[in-house]
């Protein structure tokens, strides 16, 4: 008999007065010992959770159940501090299957969903203490999107390679300096710890876990049903801007950045950049690294990539013209830089993000 996925309430009212049973049907299955060979998946939720971080992975695991032995099915549970309805960031109400106090299981997979408020939220001692205990019993544990911050507050990211949403990766690295934060990976596994990038990357992570458990053919079938890629090409960098505006627009570094962007097709040896800044090449390198976290050469290359991305998205210029206009010299050189920086070729990037192609098809 198929077991329903966790209840995701679509009620949008201010209150929800349904009387919740002390134990759900899933609790009965656990108690009856009918889940000996299944893969138990616990997802931690809270007020302000990102609903897609919850629903996306659940749909992957539920979809996989249609292609695997029923005895090895995935059984998903929502876990929270309370069984009271919790409002997601989009207004949806979610209800946990169990509270932290009711969970002493050894889950196959334990994941903390993300939420927009987590990067700035203080440590939740109840959640942190439970995560420490539950992760020690789990086969795999980790986070989806900004759920990494909850893992960090529990001390579970220390000395591990991890990832999160590209917008929040610098904050994660700042708060948890012992974590080895990768700003680009869609999902990452380090030992028993798994982490994913933002929002829909939770689907990518779940597909990777299904592939590891049951092979890539099952993961591909689930991906086809969900109309997503079984394995996304490239990393988060293809979705995020490389460059940010300098804090001090009148600084020597800002003058260099503005000049490079205005003359992106030209060559920029460090001596030329130093002349624009009015300082020595050695001092320029020191100030650039201090103020931007990158070398002058790194900035120039990133600037070329960002301008090229804009041209690939918004124009139908041939690749060789884009490469020349952006200072790469040749299309082959641009291709090598795109692969190193973004993990995809310029042609693949254009096929994915081109607004010109989309307008032509409309």
Burial (CB count within 10 angstroms: exposed 0-12, middle 13-18, buried 19+), residue 75: buried
Interior angle at CA 285, CA 282 and CA 290, nearest 5: 130
Taking each helix axis as running N to C, give the angle between helix 281-292 and helix 270-277, from 0 to 180 degrees, rounded to the nearest 10. 80
Same domain, 231 and 258: no
Domain-embedded: residue 246: no
Find the distance separating the first CA and the last CA of the chain, reported in whole Å: 44
Residues near 262 by beta carbon (within 8 Å), at least 6 away in sequence: none
Where is the domain boundary, 195, 213, 238?
A: 238
Same domain, 187 and 276: no
CB 163 within 8 A of CB 187: yes
Same domain, 158 and 257: no
Same domain, 234 and 256: no
Same domain, 202 and 278: no
Rg of the chain over CA atoms, in angstroms? 24
Same domain, 105 and 218: yes
Where is the domain boundary, 173, 207, 238?
A: 238
Q: What is the pLDDT of residues 293-315, one digit of tens each?
A: 789 999 899 889 988 988 888 88
42/75 Cα distance (integer angstroms): 8
Same domain, 164 and 187: yes
Give the containing element (helix H, strand E) for 262: helix 252-262
pTM tops 0.95, yes or no: no
Instruction: State residue 349's pLDDT score.
Output: 85
Range of the domain at 14: 8-238
Residues 279-288: b if buried by 16+ CB within 10 A, e if exposed: bebeebbebb
Domain-embedded: residue 1: no
User: How many domains does the chain divide into?
Assistant: 2
3-state secondary structure at position 105: coil
- CATH code: domain of residue 285: 1.10.10.60
Domain-embedded: residue 158: yes
93/330 Cα distance (integer angstroms): 53
Domain-embedded: residue 3: no
Domain-embedded: residue 132: yes
User: What is the 8-class DSSP label of residue 13?
Assistant: S
Residue identified by tokens 């109309």 is 227
Same domain, 134 and 221: yes
Same domain, 20 and 153: yes
Residue 93's beta-bridge partner residues? 9, 87
Domain-embedded: residue 280: yes
Same domain, 197 and 285: no
- CATH code: domain of residue 111: 3.40.50.880
Where is the domain boundary, 238, 267, 298?
A: 238
Which candidate, 76, 136, 126, places its Cα nearest to that of 101?
126
Residues 160-178: b if buried by 16+ CB within 10 A, e if exposed: bbbbbbbebbebbbebbee
Domain-embedded: residue 54: yes
Q: Show the tokens assigned to 33.
A: 């010992």
Same domain, 233 and 316: no
217/15 Cα distance (integer angstroms): 44
Same domain, 197 and 263: no
Low-confidence stretches of the chain (pLDDT beneath 50): 1-25, 28-35, 247, 356-362
């Amino acid at each position: 008999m198929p077991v329903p996925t966790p209840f995701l309430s679509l009620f949008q009212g201010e209150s929800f007065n349904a009387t919740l049973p002390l134990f759900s049907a899933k609790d009965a299955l656990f108690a009856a010992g009918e889940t000996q060979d299944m893969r138990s998946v616990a997802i931690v939720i809270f007020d302000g959770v990102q609903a897609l971080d919850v629903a996306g992975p659940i749909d992957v695991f539920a979809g996989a159940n249609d292609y695997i032995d029923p005895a090895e099915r995935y059984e998903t549970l929502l876990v929270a501090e309370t069984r009271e309805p919790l409002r997601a960031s989009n207004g949806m109400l979610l209800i946990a299957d169990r509270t932290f106090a009711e969970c002493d299981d050894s889950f196959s997979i334990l994941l903390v969903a993300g939420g927009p408020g987590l990067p700035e939220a203080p440590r939740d001692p109840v959640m942190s203490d439970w995560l420490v205990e539950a992760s020690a019993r789990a086969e795999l544990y980790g986070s989806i999107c900004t759920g990494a911050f909850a893992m960090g507050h529990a001390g579970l990211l220390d000395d591990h390679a991890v990832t999160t949403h590209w917008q929040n990766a610098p904050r994660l690295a700042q708060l948890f300096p012992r974590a080895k934060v990768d700003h680009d990976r869609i999902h990452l596994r380090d030992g028993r710890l798994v982490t994913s990038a933002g929002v829909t990357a939770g689907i990518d992570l779940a597909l990777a876990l299904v592939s590891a458990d049951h092979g890539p053919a099952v993961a591909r079938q689930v991906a086809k049903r969900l109309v997503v890629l079984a394995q996304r090409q490239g990393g988060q960098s293809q979705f995020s801007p490389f460059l940010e505006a300098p804090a001090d627009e009148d600084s020597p570094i800002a003058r260099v950045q503005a000049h490079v962007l205005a003359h992106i097709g030209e060559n920029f040896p460090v001596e030329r950049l130093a002349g624009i800044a009015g300082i020595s090449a050695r001092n320029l390198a020191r100030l650039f690294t201090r103020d931007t976290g990158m070398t002058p050469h790194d900035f120039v290359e990133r600037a070329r990539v960002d301008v090229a991305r804009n041209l690939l998205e918004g124009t139908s210029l041939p690749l060789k013209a884009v490469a020349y206009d952006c200072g790469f010299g040749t299309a082959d050189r641009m291709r090598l830089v795109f692969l190193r920086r973004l993990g995809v070729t310029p042609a693949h990037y254009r096929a994915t993000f081109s607004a010109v192609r989309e307008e032509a098809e409309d």
